[in-house]
A and B are shown apart, each in its own frame.
Chain A
């Protein structure tokens, strides 16, 4: 595992990988409009595959589908496998969520800058995840417990709980609590915030002066190529235009003042 994670680091900084690897969906669980897929990477490619660090993503598609691949950050990853957590809608994700075990996926990556290369590591964080945005948040929480003060995860409907065993999830439909509400309850002076989820959640996080100097948001722009060439995902920042796929997906709130 150690070797694999080092390869992931090299990929992030030594240049992108364009190798398309095959993965097989071995288990799918559905609930609350979401799906959690366990994907085993095909044996010939399992060994040399750089494993994704939290915050990195794969460009994923069905091998036969004439659609652009979708950028997906794993919710968990290990030796030769990853787990994806996706909203079961859209052309590609809907088909992926409904696919029977044995279905093959084509994966390219990992791409993107790992969270730990952007966040200040002198600090501990409240990790905020809304909807499919909980995926990189839980991956990060498992990989770097030393950086985590608490978790604030939220969904609209309760059906998703079965897909997130052991996670304490706020459900707005049940009692009005949200990921943002949990953040506001648990945040204390000195803690930072790392958030991933829908734009309104990220906007609310970045607007709040209590933590915004130490807050980061992981943006979910629709990507084209995933490796920095097509400029489908560029955003304005005070230091010029940045590409979400290469310079992000994590950005300090000061880098994206337009968000709030």
Chain B
């Protein structure tokens, strides 16, 4: 059986399959029936300093080959996250990546600081690119990315991922995050999108635009990961966006991802997501590949079959 465990300077993961921030919530509902040992890490819903109610309904609509979501970072705030949620997810047999965000560098620093003494917070993921909140998408300005990452770095010793969106300037933004102290990047966030009810002429989502997720964005995420891997050969990358099958996961690994995040797939068919690691093992075995590391970044060196 091929090895699928993943090792980085900052931590190890049992499989490359990661539950992306959002659809899996805090994992507690899934854990009642599914085996988290098949998951490399759970990324929590994004936590802010104060509790947030999120956006009004409707928050989810269909889109061709995916869905538009507009949850708006509904979460219990970092204090209740620590007292009510962490005791539950600390027991899960997987690594925990806690996603955090804020309206200012000061706020993200405070959230990171509040989690500093918390056992079981294995990684932090700084959400710089949620498309569904006003004024918090700082991921289009390298100076702001740098400021936010530095604030978290100053407050926390945990390994840190910076989550960016696809689009122009990705390399400059990624460079800013890595120089400011991020240990890796999560690419990509949901892509801003819109759908309209033609019978009324109004937007279907209460907040008009939302984040497009699902297979529709797989090629976009692959291109972003590919571009980042080319620019940063040593960076630790989590490739997220539209992966629903083991084959999609292999593509993401070949593009240069060390870990593969799954979001939309958790809503479509959660049990299938928990089978992805096994599907990946079978894919590797069928081709005589002994270790998943052999395919990571293969697209940058002429393919994985070349010795």
Would you call B64 and A91 a contact (CB within 8 A)?
A: yes
Contact indicator A68/B267 (Cβ below 8 Å)? yes
Known: A66-B65, A90-B62. A233 touches B57 (CB 8 A): yes
| Residues from 44 to 59 in B contacting A, C-beta threshold 8 Å | 45, 53-54, 57-59
Instruction: Determine which of B23, B28, B57, B244 lies in contact with A230 in the assembled complex, contact meaning CB atoms within 8 Å.
Output: B23
Answer yes or no: B34 CB below 8 A from chain A CBs.
yes
B40 at the A/B interface (Cβ < 8 Å)? no
- Say whether B61 faces chain A, with CB atoms less than 8 Å apart: yes
User: Within the assembled complex, what's the spacing in Å between the Cα atoms of A17 and B29?
Assistant: 10
Cβ–Cβ contact A61 & B29, under 8 A? no
Interface residues contributed by chain A, number (CB under 8 Å) = 33
Tell me if B244 and A66 are in contact (CB < 8 A). Answer: yes
Q: How many residues of B contact A (CB 8 A)?
A: 40
Give chain B residues whose Cβ lies under 8 Å from the Cβ of A16. 29, 32-33
B232-256 interface bits toward A, Cβ cutoff 8 Å, 1 = contact, 0 = none: 0000000000001000000000000
Residues of chain B contacted by A106 (CB below 8 angstroms): 269
Chain B interface mostly helix, strand, loop or mixed? loop
A-B contact count (CB 8 A): 104
A21 to chain B, nearest CB (A): 11
Interface of A (DSSP majority class): loop
Q: How far is the CB of B92 from chain A (nearest CB, A)?
A: 13
A107–B73 alpha-carbon span in the complex (Å): 29
5 new A-B contacts, CB < 8 A, other than A224-B60, A228-B25, A229-B30, are A15-B29, A15-B32, A106-B269, A222-B58, A227-B270
Provide 5 A-B residue pairs closer than 8 Å at the C-beta atoms, listed in order of the A residue: A15-B29, A15-B33, A66-B66, A69-B267, A230-B267
Interfacial residues, chain B to chain A (CB-CB below 8 A):
22-30, 32-34, 45, 53-54, 57-62, 64-67, 69, 71, 74, 214-216, 244, 264, 266-272
